[in-house]
């Protein structure tokens, strides 16, 4: 299947594009249907995507939902605790970057508004 999509189309990209194409209203229902074996793989891929800052909002939403659903299993094994810890740090970093971006944009908008108000006063 990946060969038909092209040589530059990796498995990671295919999963990311498939995840991105799921409508927001169906995302949680889709994640509920995912077997636990694939949940571990998807959580690892979410770390990969967050590390590259690919759609961090979607990645954080998926990670939080999957951890809520599978909390008992994920916290009972040391193998999964490492993945959860990595996700926590990557999610916090992504949210911090987004927060900084929003703050920067807001400051820019306030500056533009002040400049427009000054021009109107003159």
Q: 86 lies in which domain range?
A: 2-121
Q: State the pLDDT at residue 41.
A: 95
**Dist CA 10 CA 91 (whole Å):** 23
In this structure, are residues 67 and 74 in contact, taking their beta carbons and an 8 Å threshold?
Answer: yes
Summarize the confidence of residues 31-44 as an average pLDDT: 94
Q: State the pLDDT at residue 78.
A: 87
Q: State the pLDDT at residue 109.
A: 97
In the chain, the number of structural domains is 1
**Dist CA 19 CA 40 (whole Å):** 15
pLDDT in tens, 11-37: 899 999 999 999 999 999 999 999 999
Radius of gyration from C-alpha coordinates of the chain: 19
Residue 9 pLDDT class (50, 70, 90 cuts): confident
Q: What is the pTM of this model?
A: 0.80
pLDDT in tens, 67-111: 999 999 988 888 899 999 999 999 999 999 999 999 999 999 999
**Dist CA 27 CA 40 (whole Å):** 17
């Amino acid at each position: 299947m990946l060969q038909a999509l092209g040589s530059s189309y990796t498995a990671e990209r295919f999963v990311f594009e498939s995840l991105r194409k799921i409508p927001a209203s169906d995302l949680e229902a889709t994640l509920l249907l995912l077997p636990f074996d694939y949940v571990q793989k998807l959580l690892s891929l979410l770390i990969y995507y967050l590390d590259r800052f690919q759609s961090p909002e979607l990645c954080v939403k998926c990670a939080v939902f999957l951890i809520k659903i599978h909390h008992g299993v994920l916290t009972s094994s040391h193998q999964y605790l490492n993945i959860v810890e990595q996700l926590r740090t990557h999610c916090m970093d992504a949210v911090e970057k987004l927060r900084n971006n929003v703050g920067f944009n807001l400051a820019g908008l306030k500056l533009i508004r002040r400049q427009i108000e000054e021009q109107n006063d003159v």
